[in-house]
Copies of this chain bind each other. A is one copy, B any other.
């Protein structure tokens, strides 16, 4: 059984003094080990990144970008292998892994635009004979800490942009499903990144703390749960670093009475149950405005859910796979149980789902719960499982109030065909990513990803234009040349 190690200064490093099991969630069995880097190993990665920085910052952005073009091509070429690795350790069905990878590749495409994106602002004659311009220089060594649910995509939100901007990078991916992340990083090196520009260390809190405290690390990007995000943001900030920390979510869709209900149901089921709901953009609460809409919604979703297939990752006919761990499986079932106890109506119950031949897999079936109220545990917390809650509201205002009063503000959606309702909603709702008839309003790679309220700590969002600003530091130069120089005749006898 193999152990997944680290990638430091262009080489695999197998610092396996401490290791942890990596599971195959479809079978429930241990599939390998991952090394947990100690402080010294992380510092070695930081040092490699630090050493690689001076030459990398001086590499023209167009040359840096050209490596990204090759990186993209390599990922497209090795997509099958990457998706297999994702599926094996995460449980995601192969088509879903493909989607994740494609989204990741789109972030590389964005990084290909570095020469354009790094343009500074040039002002002629800010005063008489004085020019000023602002450059966006790389920070130095930056770190990324990423979650288990998108082992390919979330790291690709970070390091392609950071590196294309001239930084060097240390990535600490999730220790739950480390293989695809490492494999992809190796392809980045194969594409031409010089040793030390991208380093990967697997690990746990010790690794994270080392990254947060080491003064050579200039910035930290984090994606994970809100409590951890908050801690990381506070610690990195107290250490004088810039930090962006993305946390949890509870994404609501408002279903208006004039909504195209077939469209609602088709798109909502994917958004609620895809990837077993283990997405920070999963649509986990539907708020129906009026009982008529609610009843219609429940009926149609219930019907549609009959066709949902849950099973192991390698079977592309499945709609979604297992959750990440046995503990998480139990936690999700616990939320369903609590809903029942607190008075909600379990319309479809995914507990106890049986997947023949995979009896030990960490499966939870698609679950639909009606008549949820805002005080229930299942409503207040992020379930991160294939569970769709339905709340009934008497008006759009009431529905919006629910959303605004929730702790999180990552994504949201309204289903309507009315222009005014859409504009009112998107203008006012206290959520960072808003869909109009789009249940998973994940911004495309050339926009930026960021929630509001306790879903994101920091000024700047992930990927897209904000990433360029996050991974660079403004330098403003003001230039005036003294007026008597070689231009005037007397200077012709200038030194040979």
Residues of A whose CB lies within 8 Å of any CB of B are 58-62, 65-66, 69, 72-73, 106, 109-110, 112-113, 115-135, 137, 230, 233-234, 237-238, 240, 242-243, 256-258, 260, 263, 289-290, 292, 394-396, 416-424, 426-427, 431-438, 441-450, 452, 454, 457-461, 465-466, 469-470, 473-487, 489, 491-496
User: Contacting A478 at CB < 8 Å: which of B73, B128, B433, B493?
Assistant: B433
Q: How far is the CA of A394 from the CA of B260 in the complex (A)?
A: 25
Distance in angstroms from A107 CB to nearest chain B CB is: 12
A446 and B115 form a contact (CB under 8 A): yes
Interface of A is mostly: mixed
Instruction: Pick 11 A–B contacts, CB within 8 A, sort by A.
Output: A60-B125, A120-B121, A123-B446, A132-B447, A134-B447, A257-B494, A419-B422, A419-B481, A432-B475, A433-B475, A438-B479
Q: How far is the CA of A292 from the CA of B492 in the complex (A)?
A: 9
A122 and B125 form a contact (CB under 8 A): no
Q: How far is the CA of A110 from the CA of B420 in the complex (A)?
A: 30
B419 and A491 form a contact (CB under 8 A): no
Contact partners of A426 in chain B: CB under 8 A: 475, 477, 479
Distance in angstroms from A142 CB to nearest chain B CB is: 12
A485 in contact with B418 given A119-B123, A469-B469 (CB within 8 Å): yes
A479 and B124 form a contact (CB under 8 A): no
Measured CB to CB, the nearest residue on chain B to A263 is B482
B438 and A478 form a contact (CB under 8 A): yes
Contact partners of A117 in chain B: CB under 8 A: 116
Contact partners of A483 in chain B: CB under 8 A: 420
B134 and A448 form a contact (CB under 8 A): yes
B125 and A116 form a contact (CB under 8 A): no
Q: How far is the CA of A45 from the CA of B422 in the complex (A)?
A: 34
Q: How far is the CA of A60 from the CA of B238 in the complex (A)?
A: 38
User: Contacting A491 at CB < 8 Å: which of B109, B123, B258?
Assistant: B258
A478 and B421 form a contact (CB under 8 A): no
A237 and B237 form a contact (CB under 8 A): yes
Contact partners of A465 in chain B: CB under 8 A: 121
A473 and B494 form a contact (CB under 8 A): no
Contact partners of A474 in chain B: CB under 8 A: 432, 448, 450, 461, 466
B476 and A433 form a contact (CB under 8 A): yes
Contact partners of A460 in chain B: CB under 8 A: 459-460, 469
Contact partners of A122 in chain B: CB under 8 A: 119-122, 133-135
User: Contacting A120 at CB < 8 Å: which of B124, B427, B470?
Assistant: B124
Distance in angstroms from A448 CB to nearest chain B CB is: 6
Contact partners of A421 in chain B: CB under 8 A: 485-487
B436 and A69 form a contact (CB under 8 A): no
Q: How far is the CA of A290 from the CA of B496 in the complex (A)?
A: 13
B257 and A424 form a contact (CB under 8 A): no
B482 and A437 form a contact (CB under 8 A): yes
B457 and A459 form a contact (CB under 8 A): no
A237 in contact with B240 given A113-B116, A128-B60, A494-B496 (CB within 8 Å): no
Q: How far is the CA of A445 from the CA of B69 in the complex (A)?
A: 16
Measured CB to CB, the nearest residue on chain B to A290 is B492
Contact partners of A449 in chain B: CB under 8 A: 476
Contact partners of A115 in chain B: CB under 8 A: 123, 126, 444-446
User: Contacting A477 at CB < 8 Å: which of B135, B436, B479?
Assistant: B436
Measured CB to CB, the nearest residue on chain B to A479 is B436
Contact partners of A492 in chain B: CB under 8 A: 257-258, 289-290, 292
